[in-house]
Structure 1
Amino acid sequence: MHAFPADAPTKADSFHIIHVYPHDPRAFTEGFVYADGTLYESTGLKGHSTLRAIDPKTGAITRNLNIADTYFGEGITVWQNEVIQLTWQTQTGFVYDRSNFHLLRTFHYDGEGWGLTQDGTSLIRSDGSPTLRFFDPHTFRETRRLKVTENGVPVQNVNELEYIHGEIFANIWHSDRIIRISPQTGKVVGWLDLSMLLPPDQRTDPEAVLNGIAYDAKTNHLFLTGKLWPHIFEIELNAPRQKEK
């Protein structure tokens, strides 16, 4: 039997806050994405799930769609002129026209829906397990799976996702940590400690956890928020990215 060395320990990235914007403190944020000057947000809880368009500079909700009470809204991503939204345990996804939130079609998948992003070729879905699933954005057929590991250990509770500079950023549920995942190997190659963003005394509920990553490619900034958080934080990463060899 051969002994293989463990992965090198991942290092935390540093960052600084650019601006803080208001956020609806009643929003149970499950999905967050930025496109063409607008933040799109999916909120959860049955009877309270929505799809929203938000002005990132004011936090104002400029468009709102209430989801049927039978569904618990989850991750979203933008694909071309569409917004794609998952639901938690009903194995149903929705495709909307991005300009007016008109429902274009529905699709189905196995398992739970948590986070969703896309890499320009595939949709990428999390379900709380260490396994990410890649899907064809036209047929919604699964094309591959990727196990997320850190120092050789599978990572549980992988939640909201965002694809940035060839890496998958992921919230870890009930954690103030965002990890950076190699889409080739599944290894965690870096992470962010965001525990200083929202003090504990401003978290009004045990479920008021970090859960929202949106990326503005023009500024190279991230917009971050959480469930029931009163703020959206715009940040910029300071440290050079740690790449795998």
Structure 2
Amino acid sequence: MNKSLFSILSVLFLLISCRDDQKVLDILADYNRSMEQKGYRFGDRINLPEEITDNADKVTIGFGDKETSEMNIDPKFFEYGENKVTFSIKTKNGETLSQDATINVFSKNKEQDISYKIVAEYPHDPNNFLEGFLLEGNMVYESDGLKNSSQLIKYTLGSTTPIITEKQPDPIFSEGCAIAGDKIFQLTYQNKQGFIYDKTTLKKLSEFPLPNEIGEGWGLTFDGKNLVATDGSNKLYFLDVDNPSRVVHKVAVGGYNDIYTQLNELEYHDGFIYSNVWHQPYILKINPKTGEAVGKFDFKKITEENTKDDKEHVLNGIAFKGDNMLVTGKNWPKIYEVAIK
């Protein structure tokens, strides 16, 4: 074979190979797009099309510093919600093809619709842009946001007159708060810092930087061991109560058909974490060990009553009075006590 013919055949082979490789990548992209909306559940298998598997010696999925060749949705590698991954395909002709994808993982069980009955109503100061809401005994502790008006206040349930008010500096936008022992911990929205107060006097004891893993401070609660924070994603961040700048671990939250980003105000009660979702009229009941949303309260009626004049006056306050839940929101004039059925 002369050199000219050999060169032509080599080019043709290369063109055919490149075309086949692109076809494999196109098929993979189509498959991933079709599955992104449908999603997977733990235990499911990723069944790649035969056009891919028939042309591959090996397929792996990469997760940053981890990878697996097992095509199963395994919690060792995947979590609820969006999983940004990279497929690597070693083809039979020796090429290695790579493609980024998003694999959405949902829970196997539908959230239980939890029924309730409103059994009492209490006044709430409609000037308070509520971000954190706590009840201990008959005492309410409330973190109110917005720049130039953020504050931590303490008042008796049934009254709107503060017993103590601790105002934050003008640049601070206060967010969620939690009681742990004789201290109150408070997050800030985008100031990247948190505050610790004496629970009795509300005097500031110290400050701490928010962990780098938390982009913004949103909700906060205490589970008896760790502080638990949200940052507007679907993640629960468990923080060391003795060093709140350290993330002990994190858990992604997911539902049967929802990823539940923008988790906001939090409350821990009787082994579960309760969270509202920003701009949504419901509260989730979450298993903190797995991240599965196991139940949902629909507060659409009372939310609509309180947001008709301003859509930013959203549901955003959760506390417990015994086994009854207290619910309120930003600039709401009422606190609702509901008995869970």
More helix by share: 2
Q: Distance in 2 between matches of 1:73 and 1:204?
A: 23
Q: 1:36 to 1:205 in 2, by over 3 A?
A: same
How many angstroms does 1:211 deviate by? 0.2
Contact 2:307 2:314 in 1 (8 A): no
Question: SS of 2:301's equivalent?
Answer: coil
Partner residue, 1:242: none
Partner residue, 1:53: 154
Contact 2:107 2:255 in 1 (8 A): no
Matched, 1:146 2:146: no
More moved, 60-69 vs 117-126? 60-69
TM-score calculated relative to the size of structure 1: 0.91
Percent identity between the two aligned chains: 36
Q: Distance in 1 between matches of 2:122 and 2:230?
A: 28
TM-score calculated relative to the size of structure 2: 0.66
Q: Distance in 2 between matches of 1:139 and 1:199?
A: 40
Question: SS of 2:261's equivalent?
Answer: coil
Aligned partner letter, 2:266: L
Partner residue, 2:329: 226
Partner residue, 2:167: 66
Partner residue, 1:158: 263
The C-alpha deviation readout for 1:206-238, integer Å capped at 9, x for no partner, is 20100000112xx31111110011111111111
Question: SS of 1:150's equivalent?
Answer: coil
Contact 2:306 2:313 in 1 (8 A): no
Contact 1:215 1:222 in 2 (8 A): yes
Matched, 1:24 2:125: yes
Q: 1:203 to 1:89 in 2, by over 3 A?
A: same
Contact 1:7 1:152 in 2 (8 A): no
* Equivalenced residues, count: 236
Unaligned runs of 5+ in 1: 239-245
RMSD: 1.7
Aligned partner letter, 1:139: N
Q: 1:68 to 1:233 in 2, by over 3 A?
A: same
Contact 2:306 2:332 in 1 (8 A): no
Unaligned runs of 5+ in 2: 1-43, 47-72, 74-105
How many angstroms does 1:62 deviate by? 1.7
Give the counterpart of 1:212 among 317, 336, 340.
317
Q: Distance in 2 between matches of 1:121 and 1:6?
A: 26
Q: 1:6 to 1:212 in 2, by over 3 A?
A: closer
Contact 1:129 1:157 in 2 (8 A): yes
Contact 1:176 1:195 in 2 (8 A): yes
Q: Distance in 1 between matches of 2:107 and 2:127?
A: 43
Contact 1:42 1:51 in 2 (8 A): yes
Question: SS of 1:48's equivalent?
Answer: coil
Partner residue, 1:128: 232
Partner residue, 1:108: 209
More moved, 124-133 vs 148-157? 148-157
Greater relative contact order (Cα 8 A, min sep 6): structure 1 or 2? Answer: 1
